[in-house]
């Protein structure tokens, strides 16, 4: 019995070993085939593998680096966009040459800076809080939608630090890619430059190369000439050299409201849709606490407010050839430049200036600017329909409303005799406007015949909780 059992056992062991070997061979063969290598069809399978690898890497690219690549393209496209430059004066050419040298040295760093910056997730439209839409939104960032924030800096290191800190702090993650920050520095002030440079990849620093003296101008006026020269150069850089399509200009003594970016993202389409809107500003000259109420309310303004304002490249193309040597803001308010166009402005300011020490010596700051209220409650402009601001509907609605509401005199309102929440107060001419404005405590001066924040001659503000339309006679035909 023993030998038979022994024989059988040996047979079973041999069969088991053979089976085991077969399993191992089979597994190896299948796995090799799965990886695309087969004896029968070697070449084709190998190229298949390559394809698989390429597809894999493309997938990774779309998922993780799509934005980065797009952004790199944008930054790289700055140079090619030089073509859009007009054959301007020689001085302009040499201005850009000087700057090119500087730029070429910095170009590599910049590209790296932007690509590093863009490694963080980004979206464009309001988040719906699902991963899928976040993906979609990320892919949607196009160069045309980018609005560069151009910070104008000179020699005030603490100011520029405060300004940049609020710009970075208040920028929502979903708008980061849409609003890159470029700081342009004039004045060659080293300490200020150090502060700006310390932000590294978070922004791009450019330096105004022409620091030459301004001759034949009274000392207290020199600043206005220098800053106008700086504006011209900086706007040329962002539009002509870097090729951005839109910009928000922020001076280094401005801080911003939490919904600053939301406001500009939401109003950008208005600039595209309505050629009678030439700017969107964050500023209301009559924005003192007691003169404002509604943080979602926007107006059209014939008066150019400045102080945190958005323009498109098309406007820059128009202004560039005639850009003034000084007082650029009042120049913008001249009828030749304005051409009956308006700006959008908020009821409650989305910027506030802390610039007590500056070119205009700060009197205006002490008397007025320091009392301006900066909006503190986030208003989701992007979720709102802003088409009421387009000229076709706005002009008739605004006019009809102003002349349908009850009218009253200043003293009636002051003494509490008015029971409505909205009222019209009529002025007859510029001097009666000025005296009424002073009584109400709003800005009383006019530039190029336009009262501050007026639209079609009408200035809207809050007085003792009542909304006042300070308006000319109904038959008003235009500014003097
Ligand atoms: C005022 C306006 C300002 C406008 C200027 C133009 C207010 C509160 N401010 O300037 O919006 O642009 O008139 O007439 O109404 N700067 C330079 N180079 C210089 C000096 C200044 O680039 O040599 C820059 C500053 O960094 C700042 C801007 O120009 O960003 C305005 O300078 P500032 O000193 O703040 O002047 P304001 O009196 O406020
Ligand atoms: Mn200032």
Per DSSP, the three-state class of 320 is helix
**pLDDT score of 304:** 98
Name the residue at shortest CA distance from atom 7 of ligand 1: 307
Task: Answer yes or no: are the C-beta atoms of 184 and 215 closer than 8 Å.
Answer: no
DSSP class of 129: S
- Check if 356 has its Cβ closer than 6 Å to any atom of ligand 1: no
Q: Quickly state the pLDDT bin for 29 (edges 50, 70, 90).
A: very low
Ligand 1 atom with the smallest distance to the CA of 228 is: 6
**Phi then psi dihedrals of residue 346, to 5 deg:** -90, 160
CB atoms within 10 A of CB 156: 20
d(CA 113, CA 102): 16
Residue 171 structure tokens: 């920028």
DSSP class of 288: B
Average pLDDT, the chain: 80
Rounded average pLDDT over 417-436 = 97
Ligand 1 atom with the smallest distance to the CA of 156 is: 26
Ligand nearest the Cα of residue 229 is: 1
Name the residue at shortest CA distance from atom 11 of ligand 1: 307
pTM as predicted: 0.75
Where is average pLDDT lowest: 66-70, 158-162, 186-190, 253-257?
66-70
Distances (CA, A) of 58 to 35, 65, 75, 166: 19, 9, 22, 38
Question: With left for phi above 0 and alpha for psi between -120 and 50, is residue 324 left, alpha or beta?
Answer: beta
Quote the percentage of the chain above a pLDDT of 90.
Answer: 68
Tens of pLDDT, residues 299-348: 999 999 999 999 999 999 999 999 999 999 999 999 999 999 999 999 99
Ligand 1 atom with the smallest distance to the CA of 327 is: 14
Rounded average pLDDT over 458-472 = 98
Per DSSP, the three-state class of 82 is helix
> What is the distance in A from the centroid of ligand 2 to the CA of 305?
13
DSSP class of 403: H
What residue has token string 């609005």?
Answer: 147
Ligand nearest the Cα of residue 187 is: 1
Tens of pLDDT, residues 84-104: 233 333 333 334 443 443 433
pLDDT of residue 15 exceeding 80, the answer is no
> What is the distance in A from the centroid of ligand 2 to the CA of 334?
21
d(CA 275, CA 165): 34
Where is average pLDDT lowest: 129-143, 158-172, 263-277, 308-322?
129-143
Task: Tell me the angle at which helices 66-80 and 131-139 cross, rounded to the nearest 10 degrees.
Answer: 10
Q: Looking at 79, 329, 330, 395, which residue is catalytic?
A: 329
Per DSSP, the three-state class of 134 is helix
DSSP structure string for 96-118: HHHHHHHHHHHHHHHHHHHHHHT
Task: Answer yes or no: are the C-beta atoms of 153 and 249 closer than 8 Å.
Answer: no
Strands 450-451 and 446-447: antiparallel
d(CA 389, CA 333): 21
Q: How many CA atoms lie within 13 A of 194 on its CB side?
A: 5
d(CA 122, CA 129): 13
Tens of pLDDT, residues 274-291: 999 999 999 999 999 999
**pLDDT score of 426:** 98
Name the residue at shortest CA distance from atom 35 of ligand 1: 358
- Check if 342 has its Cβ closer than 6 Å to any atom of ligand 1: no
Is the Cα dihedral 86, 92, 94, 98 positive or negative?
negative
Rounded average pLDDT over 356-361 = 85
Task: Answer yes or no: are the C-beta atoms of 424 and 400 closer than 8 Å.
Answer: no
d(CA 470, CA 377): 27
d(CA 270, CA 282): 15
d(CA 151, CA 254): 9
- Please compute Rg for the chain using Cα positions: 32
Q: Quickly state the pLDDT bin for 360 (edges 50, 70, 90).
A: confident
> What is the distance in A from the centroid of ligand 2 to the CA of 209?
22
Tens of pLDDT, residues 144-154: 999 999 999 99
**pLDDT score of 143:** 87
**pLDDT score of 10:** 75
DSSP class of 215: P
Rounded average pLDDT over 404-412 = 98
Active site residue 445: no
């Amino acid at each position: 019995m023993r030998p038979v059992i022994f024989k059988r056992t040996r047979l079973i062991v041999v069969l088991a070993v053979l089976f085991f070997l077969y399993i191992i061979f089979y597994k190896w063969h299948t796995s090799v085939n799965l990886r695309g290598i087969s004896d029968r069809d070697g070449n084709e399978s190998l190229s298949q593998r390559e394809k698989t690898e390429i597809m894999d890497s493309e997938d990774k690219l779309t998922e993780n680096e799509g934005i980065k690549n797009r952004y790199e393209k944008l930054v790289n496209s700055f140079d090619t966009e030089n073509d859009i430059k007009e054959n301007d004066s020689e001085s302009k050419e040499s201005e850009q040459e000087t700057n090119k040298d500087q730029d070429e040295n910095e170009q590599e760093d910049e590209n790296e800076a932007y690509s590093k910056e863009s490694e963080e997730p980004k979206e464009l439209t309001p988040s719906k809080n699902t991963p899928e839409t976040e993906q979609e939104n990320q892919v949607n960032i196009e160069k045309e939608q980018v609005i560069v924030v151009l910070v104008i800096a000179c020699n005030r290191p603490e100011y520029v630090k405060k300004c940049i800190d609020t710009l970075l702090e208040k920028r929502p993650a979903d708008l980061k890619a849409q609003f890159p920050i470029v700081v342009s520095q004039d004045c060659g002030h080293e300490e200020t430059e150090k502060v700006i440079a310390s932000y590294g990849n978070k922004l791009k620093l450019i330096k105004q190369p022409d620091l030459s003296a301004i001759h034949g101008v009274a000392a207290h006026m020199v600043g206005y000439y220098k800053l106008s020269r700086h504006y011209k150069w900086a706007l040329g850089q962002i539009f002509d050299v870097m090729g951005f399509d839109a910009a928000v200009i922020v001076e280094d003594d401005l801080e911003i409201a939490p919904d600053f970016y939301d406001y500009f993202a939401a109003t950008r389409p208005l600039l595209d849709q309505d050629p009678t809107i030439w700017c969107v500003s964050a500023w209301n000259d009559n924005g003192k606490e007691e003169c404002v109420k509604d943080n979602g309310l926007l107006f059209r303004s014939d008066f150019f407010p400045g102080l945190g304002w958005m323009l498109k490249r098309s406007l820059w193309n128009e202004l560039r050839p005639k850009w003034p040597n000084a007082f650029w803001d009042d120049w913008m308010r001249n009828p030749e430049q304005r051409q009956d166009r308006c700006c959008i402005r908020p009821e409650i300011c989305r910027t506030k200036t802390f610039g007590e020490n500056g070119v205009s010596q700060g009197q205006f700051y002490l008397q007025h600017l320091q009392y301006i209220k900066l909006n503190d409650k986030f208003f989701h402009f992007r979720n709102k329909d802003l088409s009421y601001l387009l000229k076709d509907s706005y002009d008739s609605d605004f006019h009809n409303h102003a002349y349908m509401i009850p009218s009253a005199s200043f003293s009636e309102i002051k003494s509490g005799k008015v029971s409505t929440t909205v009222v019209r107060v009529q002025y007859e001419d510029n001097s009666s406007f000025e005296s009424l404005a002073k009584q109400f405590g709003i800005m009383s001066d006019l530039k190029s015949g336009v009262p501050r924040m007026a639209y079609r001659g009408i200035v809207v503000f809050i007085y003792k909780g009542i909304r006042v339309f300070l308006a000319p006679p109904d038959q008003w035909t235009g500014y003097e």
